[in-house]
A and B are shown apart, each in its own frame.
Chain A
Amino acid sequence: MKTIFSALLLTLFITFSNTSKAFSQTAKTQNYVVLTKKVPQLKPILLAAKSLKKEDGENFGKFEIIFCGKNIGDLTQMETLKPHIEAAQAIGANIIACGFSLKKFNVEANKLPKEIEIVDNGILHNLHLQQKGYLSLEL
């Protein structure tokens, strides 16, 4: 009788911890990461970010846009980039450059707009964020 009772308690405990986990997952902050290789994709990405921010309300967490690949030099073109940086700031999104790509394609880090953060390896950064539960889109 005692064993059954303790088993019952244990099951109850497991069941409730499971369901509460399920609930907390739906209510927690939602973070996003996008990996892109093209500047023209920044516009639709930022528009998506804007819509998600509206949709998520206070659950909207971080929105990171990692730029990598052979077109990384395009990030030094201040004029084309400016509207995107401003849009990102308004949303609270971050544009991040891949340090590996910068090196490979001989782009000097100090030529990037100061708002752009640099990570050593964009792929690694994306995977780390996915480990933390970020929803990911790799373009």
Chain B
Amino acid sequence: MKKLIQILIVLVGFGVTAQQTTQTNKFVVLTPKVEQLKPILLAADKLTEKEDFQIVLYGQNVTDILKAEMEEYIRWAQKSEVNLAVCKMSLNKLQIDPASLPKEIEVVDNAFLTAFQLQKAGYILLNL
């Protein structure tokens, strides 16, 4: 009898944890504009329970990542444990050598592919 109740409690507990895992704390933001990094990073800082937070830059304006102001965002992202990435296809189109970028910035092959892959992995996507 006692055992039955114990089993019952364990099972209920299992059911509850199974439901909790469906809540996501992983985020990915796609943006074509470096100016949007500030509000995105502010948002990231507010999300206290985040497990992972990724920002992927893409499009014709990614040249802006070579600007001096980028340094501040890189430091900010590191402090906030946010991963900064840039799309290689965009870099290629703009003839920017990935090697010329600060090493803290990750280079992903295709921003759109990353967006879908991370969604599949349970990330919440925001595309700006």
Contact = CB atoms under 8 A, between A and B. Distances in A.
Given A32-B116, A135-B120, A44 B15 contact: no
Contacts of A138: 127
A48 interface: yes
A15 B15 contact: yes
Contacts, number: 63
Contacts of B115: 137
B96 interface: no
B119 A135 contact: yes
A51 B110 CA distance: 10
B112 A48 contact: yes
A54 to B, nearest CB: 11
A106 interface: no
B1 A1 contact: yes
A78 interface: no
Contact of A18 (B1, B19, B112, B125): B19
A127 interface: no
15 contacts: A4-B5, A5-B4, A8-B7, A8-B8, A15-B14, A32-B116, A47-B112, A48-B110, A48-B113, A48-B116, A52-B113, A135-B119, A136-B125, A137-B116, A137-B125
Closest 5 interchain pairs by CB? A48-B113, A48-B112, A11-B11, A135-B119, A15-B15
Contacts of A5: 4
Interface size class of B (residues with CB under 8 A): 20 to 34
Classify the secondary structure of B's interface with A.
helix
B112 A34 contact: yes
A139 interface: yes
Interface string B53-80: 0000000000000000000000000000
A34 B111 CA distance: 13
Contacts of B111: 44
A124 interface: no
A119 to B, nearest CB: 21
Nearest to A18: B18
A121 interface: no
